[in-house]
Amino acid sequence: MASRADRSDTNNLGFLLAKASQHWNQLLAERFAARGFAEVRPSYGSVLLPLFEQDGLRMGEIGQRARLSKQTMTTLVRLCERDGLVARERDPDDSRAFRVHLTERAREFRPVADEVLRELDTRVLAALGQRQRQALARALKGVMGL
Amino acid sequence: MASRADRSDTNNLGFLLAKASQHWNQLLAERFAARGFAEVRPSYGSVLLPLFEQDGLRMGEIGQRARLSKQTMTTLVRLCERDGLVARERDPDDSRAFRVHLTERAREFRPVADEVLRELDTRVLAALGQRQRQALARALKGVMGL
DNA sequence: CGACTTTAGTCTGATATCGTACATTCTGGT
DNA sequence: ACCAGAATGTACGATATCAGACTAAAGTCG
């Protein structure tokens, strides 16, 4: 019914990547909100998941694990703080650094995060099949290597 | 050498999508700049490509073709205008609307866009192969359908 | 024509992330 | 102890995009 400008549209890889990424975040936000954690933005995962593995990390360490820049970490940690999910305290051994700690609220969120992530993974599996899902991950890494 | 927190890291689909999308835009920006069009941001493609197909579109029409919201179009068209790539004029038939036109500079950019897009496509093909590239596009559409 | 609805674009503020530049603090070598 | 250099985080501004609320102009229908 329409197919003139495919380069600018649905077959443009940049377009597909952007939209898929956007949509994924949308899915996360909806599910978190539906379970009573509307304040948890998708990006907070970059802070919370590392801290679920090991609480009390420094900001730079979180950034490394999530592969985000220091500036982004500054911003994200402040937002998480504002929303009552983490607390910072100066590192006693290094007065430049901060230790970031999960709050009770964040610990309550942990099972929700696990559940949502599992649910989405299941849905991806249902939509794509195991083979395609694996191929997708590989292909995305390939794109990052360009 | 490291594999404790895979959920928060390289195998998280959200992470891969975000990074791949980011990287793709990076590739575009670098290549445009290298060819003397440093002012052309990756996002401008959403405005320019539709106009390459048909000049004089209205903002809403561009938005529809690029699947971007009206607010985003307002912003993008202004930036393109600021950078000398498009000009707007009121639509004589509808005084709410604007007609967006390419400037000479944008027309000079067209072959560059084509070339860069072709080059990247070639590189994707080399990195993934035709089969994987197709599968990637399909999988991304699948994710968008979740 | 006048009231209702729809359409075009804008405004404000939020989300997600980076680059460049910087102040502070730590560290290793003399 | 001192200083040069590395590391930690912040400031500012840019890029990319949306949601909700709004203005103004157009279209529709009685």
Question: Does residue B60 fall inside a structural domain?
Answer: yes
* Residue B8, pLDDT score: 43
User: Residue range A85-110: average pLDDT?
Assistant: 97
Which pLDDT band holds residue A52 (cuts at 50, 70, 90)?
A: very high
Nearest nucleic acid nucleotide to B44, CA to C1' distance:
D16
Q: What is the pTM of this model?
A: 0.92
A83-118: b or e for each residue (b if 16 or more CB lie within 10 Å)? bebbebeeeeeeeeebbbebeeebeebeebbeebbe
Question: Does residue A79 fall inside a structural domain?
Answer: yes
- Residue B96 contacts strand D, CB under 7 A: yes
Question: Does residue A3 fall inside a structural domain?
Answer: no
Which pLDDT band holds residue B127 (cuts at 50, 70, 90)?
A: very high
* Residue A4, pLDDT score: 41
CA distance A57 to chain B (A): 14
Question: Does residue A53 fall inside a structural domain?
Answer: yes
Which pLDDT band holds residue A86 (cuts at 50, 70, 90)?
A: very high
Question: Does residue B23 fall inside a structural domain?
Answer: yes
All residues of chain B having their beta carbon less than 8 Å from the beta carbon of residue A135 are 132, 135-136, 139
User: Residue range A121-137: average pLDDT?
Assistant: 94
> Smallest Cβ distance to A17: which of B8, B24, B117?
B24
Contact B21 A14 (CB under 8 A): yes
Cβ-defined contacts of A19-24 (< 8 Å, 24+): A19/B67, A19/B140, A19/B144, A20/B17, A20/B21, A20/B140, A20/B143, A20/B144, A21/B14, A21/B17, A21/B18, A21/B20, A21/B21, A23/B143, A23/B144, A23/B146, A24/A120, A24/B13, A24/B14, A24/B17, A24/B143
Which pLDDT band holds residue A126 (cuts at 50, 70, 90)?
A: very high
Q: Which domain holds residue A86?
A: 13-144
Report DSSP letters for A53-112, one per residue.
HSTT-BHHHHHHHHT--HHHHHHHHHHHHHTTSEEEEEETTEEEEEEEEE-HHHHHHHHH
* Residue B9, pLDDT score: 53
Query: Which residue(s) pair with A94 in the sheet?
Result: A91
How far separated are the first and last CA of chain B, in Å rounded?
34
B143, A23 in Cβ contact below 8 A?
yes
* Residue A70, pLDDT score: 97
For residue A1, pLDDT over 80 is answered with no
For residue A7, pLDDT over 90 is answered with no
- Cα dihedral A120/A75/B73/B67 (nearest 10): -10
For residue A10, pLDDT over 60 is answered with no
Tell me the percentage of chain B whose pLDDT exceeds 90: 91
Nucleotides of C under 7 A from a protein CB: 7-13, 15-21, 23-27
Which pLDDT band holds residue B39 (cuts at 50, 70, 90)?
A: very high
B57, B50 in Cβ contact below 8 A?
yes
Number of domains in chain A: 1
> Smallest Cβ distance to B137: which of A16, A24, A123?
A16
Question: Does residue B72 fall inside a structural domain?
Answer: yes
User: Residue range A78-86: average pLDDT?
Assistant: 98
**CA B58 to C1' C19, whole Å:** 34
* Residue B67, pLDDT score: 96
* Residue A9, pLDDT score: 53
Which pLDDT band holds residue A5 (cuts at 50, 70, 90)?
A: very low
* Residue B6, pLDDT score: 44
Question: Does residue B45 fall inside a structural domain?
Answer: yes
Give me the helices (H) in B35-103, please: 45-53, 59-66, 70-82
For residue B132, pLDDT over 80 is answered with yes
Question: Does residue B4 fall inside a structural domain?
Answer: no
Contact B65 A5 (CB under 8 A): yes
> pLDDT digits over B61-85, tens only?
999 999 999 999 999 999 999 999 9
For residue A130, pLDDT over 60 is answered with yes
* Residue A2, pLDDT score: 41
All residues of chain A having their beta carbon less than 8 Å from the beta carbon of residue B5 are 49-50, 53, 65
- For residue A42, give the chain B residue with the closest CA: B14
- What CATH code is carried by the domain that includes residue A43? 1.10.10.10
* Residue A14, pLDDT score: 95
All residues of chain A having their beta carbon less than 8 Å from the beta carbon of residue B19 are 67, 140, 144
> pLDDT digits over A15-50, tens only?
999 999 999 999 999 999 999 999 999 999 999 999
